[in-house]
Structure 1
Amino acid sequence: MSPRRSYDQYCSAARALDLVGDRWTLLIVRELLAGPRRYTDLHADLPGVSTDVLASRLKDMERDGLTTRRRMPPPGAAYVYELTGRGRELLPVLQALGAWGQPELGERRPTDAVRAHWFALPLLRALAGEGLVEVHLEEGDFHVYAGGAAGPVYGDGRAPEEPDARLAMDTETCTDIARGALTLPDAVRAGRVAVTGDGILAKALRAA
């Protein structure tokens, strides 16, 4: 394990960057906000990261108290990485960073990778209220836990239980919402988002 590099500045921002300022670290946090993930899953959803760099970052994050590693019970028995409470506190940091970076999205470049669940955090910012929301995109399905869930913030695939709302939209609409060019209620009113479900969130969106 490599020694931690430091800015050697008595400043809370500098101390924070000592922990999360390395390339890929915050994106690993983004992935682990979905809950425990295997190394192979992390590598698949972080296109461009080398195996050596990913392994090094995970070791550093475990050393610094941001993640833990544990073995899943049989029949899986695989090792998974998950965020500690300290690591989960980075959610508002990623939310603020994503909001700040909205103007930089622009048009998608031919070299840009995309995963459906990467829209989870910007969509979470757009949701008002609490509940489980299932989202259907062309790239795939994901679900988000609106309202400050104590556990995973989002997950891949269909919701594990009956959601409070189901949203179906195309990727262009979801991108516009992520960029801040379109609000979720406006997208619903324009017919660009189909809302189904009987939960409070679904009713509120249809009534907006």
Structure 2
Amino acid sequence: MTRSYDQSCPAARALDVVGGRWSLLIVRELLLGPKRYTDLVAGLPGIGPNVLAERLRALRDAGILSQAKLPPPAPSAVYELTELGAAMRPVVDELTRWGMRLPSPHRPGDTFRLNWVLGCLRASFRPEEASGVRETYEIRVDGDAFHLRVDDGVLDIRNGGAPDPACVITTDLGTFLAIGARLVDIQDVVARGLAQLEGELPAAARAIAILGAHPEATGGRHGIVGAVGASFRPDRALGVRETYEFVIAELVFHARVDDGTVEMDIGPAADAVTTLVTDLGTLLQLGSGSLPLEDALSAEVVDVHGDLEAALRMADAFGVVRADRPASAH
């Protein structure tokens, strides 16, 4: 049975339509283009088939979406947003922008889909950087492809390849997130073989300038060193006075912790009590909370040289999830 707030208020009427669990996430999925029922099931892990069918029916009755047939050679029924439904794009974008400001954006056990990153890209789009730009960028991440079409300050993001991309960037998820967060430079990751670029480097640089993280996202601190420093949690480092060293591929830097404060610097440290050695993708997983340090050690994607207990203190100080720490504590 459909529930209503029974209020003569536009906001309340809007929530009558999309305020129920899953409804807005269905709209989120369809903002990237038409989807088959099976595509929606894959993009909404945890939703039951009966619930999905009911939500689709309610959204269709409200004029938010409609059904259509894909043309041959593989005709099938798809769901797509109507003009009224597509008008929710700025609402979803603003909600995404607000959500990106919340603490602990990723919790252990959370599911992850590349499509959800695309919503973050759209939310971080800066029209002023795209004035006069008319080109398309194709991104391939771990076998999935999507493209971004910029037309003089207007952005459209869609699943699948593009027939006329100004550039094609092919990489893995960790590197893609690092590029978008401006932790690494596109020219650097291409030179190191972490990404492949087809097309002109200036086009790829424009895509990142238009869609990458805002400078204020890391408090003005750029690069891997700045990002690690930005994750420091003073409350977890009270009474701790020791130095930790990080070796990420060819980059070496260290963090000097002194009773709740930290100083980051490039280069090795003569007095490091422990050294963490890993690759960029694993570092991002550790930092996002999707990979506990102990699991990374067991999988041998991280090496610790020196005091293991100090490495665990370092994990606490820099917000890395510990296998023995409840998710709510992160």
For the aligned pair, the TM-score class normalised by the smaller chain equals 0.7 to 0.9
Q: Which residue of 1 aligns with 2:136?
A: 132
Preserved CA contact (<8 Å) 1:188 1:205? no
Gaps of 5+ in 2: 211-330
CA RMSD of aligned residues (A): 3.2
Aligned residues: 197
Q: How does 1:75-154 map to 2 (within 5 A)?
A: 75-104=73-102, 106=104, 108-127=106-125, 128-129=129-130, 130-138=134-142, 140-146=144-150, 147-148=153-154, 153-154=157-158
**What is the TM-score when the length of structure 1 is the normalising length?**
0.77
Residue identity in the other structure for 1:164: A
Shift, 1:113, TM fit:
1.4
Distance verdict in 2 for CA 1:187–1:199, change over 3 Å: closer
Q: Percent identity at matched positions?
A: 38
75-84 or 23-32, which moves further after superposition? 75-84
Distance verdict in 2 for CA 1:206–1:61, change over 3 Å: closer
76-85 or 53-62, which moves further after superposition? 76-85
1:106-152 CA-partner distances (Å, limit 9, x unpaired): 36434221122221121234444253222233473322334535xx6
The whole-number CA distance in structure 2 between the counterparts of 1:26 and 1:176 is 28
Q: Which residue of 1 aligns with 2:165?
A: 163
Distance verdict in 2 for CA 1:177–1:61, change over 3 Å: farther
**What is the TM-score when the length of structure 2 is the normalising length?**
0.51
Residue identity in the other structure for 2:188: G
Q: How does 1:30-45 map to 2 (within 5 A)?
A: 30-45=28-43
Q: Which residue of 1 aligns with 2:11?
A: 13
131-140 or 82-91, which moves further after superposition? 131-140
Residue identity in the other structure for 1:50: G
Gaps of 5+ in 1: none
SS of 1:109's equivalent?
coil
Shift, 1:29, TM fit:
1.0
Preserved CA contact (<8 Å) 1:36 1:81? yes
The whole-number CA distance in structure 2 between the counterparts of 1:124 and 1:28 is 17
Q: Which residue of 1 aligns with 2:185?
A: 188
1:86-107 CA-partner distances (Å, limit 9, x unpaired): 1111111111011100133636
Higher relative contact order (CA 8 A, sep 6+): 1
Choose 1 or 2 for highest CA Rg: 2
